[in-house]
Amino acid sequence: MEKDLGNYRKSYEKSELLLEDTPENPMELFRNWFNEIDAHFPEDETNAMTISTIGLNGYPKNRVVLLKKFTYEGFIFYTNYQSEKGKAIQNNPKVCLSFFWAGAERQIIIKGKAKKIPKNLSDGYFESRPRGSQLGAIVSNQSEIIQNRAFLESKLKELEIEYEGKEINRPEFWGGFIVKPIEIEFWQGRPNRLHDRIHYKLNTDFNWIKNRLAP
């Protein structure tokens, strides 16, 4: 099988990103971009991000997860700690996050270290989830082999009966990670592949150094 994609081309012309227009703290620029995308592209999941980890087998792996909170400290998402992703992070906390917003011709690449958030924060978020999502977290032994989908649906029905009228507590194997960034790159598509790339790096004094990178 062969397909030549050499003629796939698009000219990026929607915006620009100038170093002199960027704030000193990259989290402020992230907030601004996120809010712009959220306002102008409501049909998309603005908080969908790719997370890259190094697996226990030494290979990198990417998958899309949902960002659930961001602060000046970092980026928070939730997962099963015993999943392939969870085990990889606990073995090697160095991860990379990326956002690609095609409609705005923008992407953001974030390097950082992930760590578990406090249990009470995971409890609070779990309580805010719909009951179906709460039960789904308990049902799924994420990343483990199962015989068929019927197994999952049957297990869900059993739990619905078991927890009917009862509070559902967060299982210990499920919770949040926060990724604390050490580098953040903002990419704005430009014509002729001369894209704007503004790179921030965290200094030892916890201030950010920013530079323009060649496209």
What is the domain-level CATH number for residue 192?
2.30.110.10
User: What is the reported pLDDT for 116?
Assistant: 98
| Other CB atoms within 10 A of residue 160 CB | 13
pLDDT digits (tens, 9 = 90+) for 150-175: 988 999 999 999 999 999 999 999 99
Q: Is residue 147 part of a domain?
A: no
Q: Is residue 165 part of a domain?
A: no
| Other CB atoms within 10 A of residue 144 CB | 10
**What percent of the chain is predicted at pLDDT more than 70?**
100
pLDDT digits (tens, 9 = 90+) for 93-138: 999 999 999 999 999 999 999 999 999 999 999 999 999 999 999 9
Q: Is residue 127 part of a domain?
A: no
Q: Which helix (H) or strand (E) holds 55?
A: none
Residue 194 has which token pair? 């001369």
Q: Is residue 44 part of a domain?
A: yes
Q: Is residue 169 part of a domain?
A: no
- What is the total count of domains within the chain? 1
Tell me if residue 193 is catalytic. Answer: yes
Confidence of residue 145 (pLDDT cuts 50, 70, 90): confident
User: What is the reported pLDDT for 183?
Assistant: 98
In DSSP terms, 78 is beta-bridged to 176
Q: Dump the DSSP string for 123-155.
A: HHHHHHS-HHHHHHHHH--TTS--S-HHHHHHH
User: What is the reported pLDDT for 95?
Assistant: 98
| Domain coverage including residue 71 | 19-122+174-213
Q: Is residue 192 part of a domain?
A: yes
Catalytic member of 9, 131, 193, 197: 193
